[in-house]
Amino acid sequence: MSYANMLVLSFFDMLMLVCILFSFKSSLNRMDVLKGIMCILFGFIVIGSSGYFITNEVISVTLNIIVAFLIISFVTNKKLKEVIMLYIFSLTIMYSIQFLVTIIYKMTLSDFTYSFEYGLISQITASMVVIVILLIFPVKSIYFYITERNKWFSMITINIFAIYYMLLMIWYTNLKGFLESMVGVLVLVVSILIVNAIILNNGLQNQSTLNKMHIYDTYLPIIDDIVEEIRAKQHDYHNHIQALESIQTYDLILDYKKQLIKEDIWSKLIRIDNKILIALLYSKYVKALSSKINIEYTIDNYLLKTKYTDYELVELFGILIDNALEATQRMNESSIELFIGYEDGKNVISTKNKSCEVSSDEIKRMFEYNYTSKETGGHGIGLYKIQKLLKKSNGTITAYYDADENEMVFTVKFN
């Protein structure tokens, strides 16, 4: 096959690839079209040239994959993992359609041969079929469904691609007995481990980012409300000063001061050196008030220096407070206590709430994964999550029932 023939056939491969990538865009502008044309020109020239001039199959195949990766990345602005997934997805569509078209022509045309002329007809037909499919079927939705709904799908697919590429390279290099040797096996295993390490690392980073975004989306609006409430408190400040000036008795001034501090949640929360935690504690305070329950915050540790992320602190505090609130509601009580302190080099969180009597066996069961009974104060699967979370820094959680006060007490210590 001549050089010109290779270029023509490669052109249709690049056309199909770019069309598939365009289907992932909600709308196309002139810049997108220009980028697509540039990619088609660049792709079919490089791939067509490599197929004609480069006799080494290893170099040729690797170059073709790199060119496809560059085009996908340039058109979609995706990261490497997504580029690999899109590459596999696009080639699956292209090769499947090309294969079916070739089979149909082979069955219907008696004089069909694997020549440039019939190859050109097949490529034109396949390109038209690809475009029709992209117009009719929600290809983008299908792609995201099979890749995002199943967390393991992308990992398995990328592993298959990595193994396929390595075996292909071994096949082309004709390394006799490579797979039978220990060196060959080690190279394959190490390569797959490296690929999985990269995937897992990216996955953890993405999950961490999603967790942070979830926290900010949840609590930043609350912080805005807090700012507005503090501004409103500034107006009340002058009224309180005038009231104090009119009181002549020192004892009455002290009583008035204590009452103000008791009612002002901000005298306790505003000094905490974590805005997300302030927002969380305030939101729980408001939630408790709506259920006619008072949360008594006692804070001796405002810094809370810790290895845990804001997301993890939100889980830790949230589970403890929610459990205490649920138990208090069932007991028809009106208050719970939360203590934040520092003891023996560790941060301490402790909750107290009224409860019916709880045996030591029941307390042990509270930390089991499947224990969700609410008969002992509503402490269920959340406590298991806390226990698992605390392993990160050798933290501890203890629980006991105070028979004298009829209270359930949970204490968490962590670095």
pLDDT at 378: 44
pLDDT at 91: 86
Residue 357 contacts residue 403 (beta carbons within 8 Å): yes
Residue 396 belongs to what H/E stretch? strand 396-402
Q: Which of 23-37, 141-155, 288-302, 368-382 has the highest mean pLDDT?
A: 288-302
Residue 408, pLDDT > 80, answer yes
**SS3 (DSSP) at 308:** coil
How far does Cα 377 stand from its chain's mean position?
A: 32
Residue 17, pLDDT > 50, answer yes
Confidence of residue 129 (pLDDT cuts 50, 70, 90): very high
pLDDT at 376: 46
Residue 262, pLDDT > 70, answer no
Architecture of domain 267-414: 2-Layer Sandwich (3.30)
pLDDT at 278: 86
Q: 299-310: per-residue pLDDT in tens?
A: 999 988 998 888
**SS3 (DSSP) at 337:** strand
pLDDT at 397: 94
pLDDT at 139: 85
Residue 299: CB atoms within 10 Å: 16
pLDDT at 364: 86
Tell me how far apart the alpha carbons of residues 315 and 279 are, in angstroms, rounded to a whole number: 13
Residue 315 identity (one-letter amino acid): E
Entry pTM: 0.48
Tell me how far apart the alpha carbons of residues 79 and 147 are, in angstroms, rounded to a whole number: 15
pLDDT: is 75 or 234 the higher one? Answer: 75
Would you kindly state where each structural domain of the chain is located, as residue ranges?
3-151, 267-414
Give helix 310-330 / helix 275-290 axis angle, nearest 10°.
Answer: 20
Tell me how far apart the alpha carbons of residues 230 and 387 are, in angstroms, rounded to a whole number: 36
Percent of the chain with pLDDT over 90: 30
What DSSP line would sit under 400-413, residue for residue? Answer: EEETTTTEEEEEEE
Residue 61, pLDDT > 70, answer yes
Residue 179, pLDDT > 50, answer no
Residues, the chain: 415
Residue 123 contacts residue 12 (beta carbons within 8 Å): yes
Lowest mean pLDDT among 11-20, 55-64, 211-220: 211-220
pLDDT: is 184 or 194 the higher one? Answer: 194
pLDDT at 312: 86
